[in-house]
Chains A and B, each alone.
Chain A
Amino acid sequence: MIPTRKFAAQFSTSPFQGEVWAVILCFLVTACSADVKPVFHADENPESLSDWGMVFEGDGHLFVNEGVLPYDLATPLFSDYALKLRTLWTPDGKTVSYDPDGPFDFPVGTVVTKTFYYPRENDEWDGVVTIGEAPRLSQMSLPLSKFQLVETRLLVRREAKWDALAYVWNEEQTDAVLKRTGDIKPMTLVRDDDEREAFAYLVPNVNQCAACHATNATTKEIQPIGLKASHLNKRSNYSHGLNQLDHWIAAGLLTGDFSNAGAAPKNADWQDETASLDARARAYLDINCSHCHNPVGPADTSGLNLKPDASGPALGRCKSPIAAGGGTGGRPYGLTPGAPEQSITLFRMETTDPGAMMPELGRAVAHDEGVALIAEWITEMEGACG
């Protein structure tokens, strides 16, 4: 097919070199262009992911379409070691309003995507996945010879509210189809020590999407979770040495009472050993837990608050459980200073029992490295209970 679209940069400033290169490449590699431009479906949920025109398969690669902006987070949610490609698109160059605390305010028509994929162990897809780093996008594309696409989740800002949708990729890796009732995919994880662990990868159903994204349990409104200043305030992986927020400002995407990333809250990268242990641990708990464990979230029933500003019993320190059931693991307190093996929070991260594990959804295997981080944080915690 011949690309018919002219390059019309939605954000025309220089930081968009990545996109420019992608476009140039698109003219060279004809198969990489989408049939569909990025489009907002105001009412209908198309059956195929390609109908949104955000990301698409071509010539054995997954491409990010023109005008669609990839981004990432300082510390991401752990999802069974899946790698994630996140994108943001707003229609007609509409801008996003900055907010220092909550998710930014996105215009109607915004489409956010998150594609979950894994490094394959073998050339042929056999359900065996390995643990790897997300590759840097080369010409806005991922080579599917090395990676298996599992699902792409969308958050769509409709007139009345955000809607959440999950599209599951076919085995041929050519497109993904809408699966409103979710799915379970049997897989095997190969850990770094070559230990193999069978697990059930969960594609959430539409209601389960709300279980995490309705971060206020009273309003029950679906909201983006990662698209907040504290998570986005990091060096961009997609715009050559710029801070991601500064890039968005320079591109004219981000507006509001806000001048530069230096003035914005910033979560640590949980793997950045130059950051303090406390900052890394709190960033990890924030992105993995605080969508429910916040003062108005679905888990406020527990009295446990894992947002970065929580402290004392609310953070779990010497706090007895309320309704944890088997989630206590026989341990007395949320956090027992100096004693990770006596801390319920850590048990909740270690276990894979669906009735006891945290988060409740989106994890089937333990995140050994995350567990190690929180264990170290508790070990270093001063004071004692009782």
Chain B
Amino acid sequence: MHYRTIFILPAFLALIACSQETQDSVSTTDASYQETLLTQLIDAEPGDVIEIPEGAFSFDRSLSLNVDGVTIRGAGMDKSILSFKGQIAGAEGLLVTASDFTIEDLAIEDTKGDALKISEGENIIIRRVRTEWTGGPKTENGAYGIYPVQTKNVLMEENVAIAAADAGLYIGQSENVVVRNNRAEYNVAGIEIENTFDADVYGNVATNNTGGILVFNMPNLKQPGARTRVYNNEVYENNTKNFGHEGTPVASIPAGSGVVVNSNDQVEIFDNDIRDNKTANVIIASAFSAEIDQAGVADDFDPYPEQIYIYDNRFDGGGNNPDGLDLQALKVAMVGPLGRLPDVLWDGYVNPARANDGPVLCVQNGHAKVINVDGPNGNANPRIVDDSSHDCAFEKLPPVALTGPLAE
């Protein structure tokens, strides 16, 4: 726990320095606090701890921080609340473009766009932060709750993300990431790992989202992603109607999706409790199933999910009432009106250049079955795989080791 020693000392100093000023001048639901916090963010220097006092504070424009080595700390995710209900300018609640950044124990509510965006930084800790749109799931909500992008060495833990119109907890185009013990609910995507290398996603609860946990690769970005382990999570009843904005990638996620992999490689899904996701407990798909126009895809993009390894999960229920007419028809045709689709739904796309390189999807998960919906042939010949073609194993990925000040 090396990082604690780094951050406790400045926190202690800041407490001494700030306590007299802030405690007197700040009352609850105070709009004047905006000026105080803006000034602290502008004047911040490396090593500073900015304490957010207990209370609900309203903001009419976005906040931003671009100094390395700063900690923002509240009194608790239900005690220090930054409300952007009256926001009239700025695309985020808080935008951070800095490294060695820690934010913890506060809430960001009702932003017009993303709640907390952290762009291009290293050694990032996001802990016990709640991002929420308080009116519940609505299309007009902001896209992302907690949104680090192009970051390295990132810990997201014990956060709560509610009602984002895209993803509650999202990490994109990043490296070396641990996402653990968070709770995501009533988002379109609960937790999304996108174009990211080496992510461990464990101990999380994803429920009442449209899709629980997503591991995606999208085209036209600086880096693809690979090597994500999704384990020891509870992913259940992610059956909220998709309220994403039309045109966004997540808008194509069927309601009732547990864990979804799209175009990503080397993904391990194991030791999770995945249950009662009405479309399918696990979906493995290519970019061809994500409504992406091939004319708009850069040439170097690999649309095929490969080396996907599913094992030792506890599946229960699910697949009984898939979202959308096509999937409903498929289900009735395959398992009858009262049956349920197998736990693993695969769109069946295989890179023709690697057709002889062995399986892309291995499932060693008791009685769990795979349905191949035969996407390449327009779903002409969907089949529940009853042979041993997915009974295989890939070499297991090593755990992600956070480094530097985040090393454990």
Contact = CB atoms under 8 A, between A and B. Distances in A.
A binds B: yes
Interface of A: 180-182, 184, 200, 202, 205-208, 210-211, 214, 217-218, 220, 298, 300-301, 303, 312-314, 317-334, 344, 353-357, 360-361, 364, 385-386
A177 B334 CA distance: 72
B66 interface: yes
Nearest to A300: B222
Contact of A323 (B87, B143, B219, B296): B143
Given A184-B60, A355-B112, A386-B295, A220 B89 contact: no
Interface string B292-319: 1101111000000000000000000000
B119 A217 contact: yes
Contact of B111 (A210, A323, A355): A355
Contact of A314 (B41, B95, B220): B220
For chain A, what secondary structure do more than half of its interface residues adopt (helix, strand, loop), or is it mixed? Answer: loop
B29 to A, nearest CB: 19
A332 B66 contact: no
Contacts of B87: 354
Interface string B58-73: 0011101110000000
B245 interface: yes
Contacts of A218: 120
Given A180-B39, A207-B64, A354-B89, A332 B249 contact: no
Interface residues of B, number: 54
B218 interface: yes
A323 B89 contact: no
5 closest A-B pairs by beta carbon, nearest first, are: A325-B143, A318-B296, A355-B113, A355-B112, A328-B247
A150 B248 CA distance: 38
Contacts of A353: 112
B293 A320 contact: yes
Nearest to A353: B112
Contacts of B35: 181
B257 interface: no
A200 B62 CA distance: 14
B247 A318 contact: no
A313 B298 contact: yes
Contacts of B144: 323, 325
A373 B220 CA distance: 26
A333 B296 contact: yes
A328 B246 contact: yes
A326 B139 contact: yes
25 contacts: A181-B35, A205-B64, A208-B64, A210-B97, A300-B150, A303-B222, A313-B219, A313-B296, A317-B295, A320-B219, A321-B248, A321-B249, A322-B249, A324-B245, A325-B143, A326-B143, A327-B245, A329-B247, A333-B293, A354-B89, A355-B113, A355-B114, A385-B293, A385-B296, A386-B293
A60 B31 CA distance: 36
Given A318-B293, A354-B88, A354-B90, A324 B247 contact: yes
Given A181-B38, A207-B42, A325 B293 contact: no
Interface string B29-41: 0000001001101
Nearest to B44: A207
B38 A182 contact: yes
Contact of B221 (A322, A344, A361): A322
Nearest to B64: A207
Contacts of A312: 298
Contact of A202 (B61, B172, B291): B61
Contacts of B61: 182, 184, 202
A382 to B, nearest CB: 13
Interface string B101-141: 00000000001111000011000000000000000000110
A344 B120 CA distance: 25
Nearest to B114: A325
B241 to A, nearest CB: 16
Contacts of B245: 324-330
A335 B123 CA distance: 36
Q: Which of A181, A320, A328, A332 has the most CB of B within 10 A?
A: A320
B166 interface: yes
B220 A217 contact: no
A132 to B, nearest CB: 24
A313 B297 CA distance: 6
Nearest to A200: B88
A312 B166 CA distance: 26
Contacts of B176: none
Contact of B220 (A313, A326, A355): A313
A71 B140 CA distance: 42
Contacts of B248: 321, 324-325, 328
B247 A181 contact: no
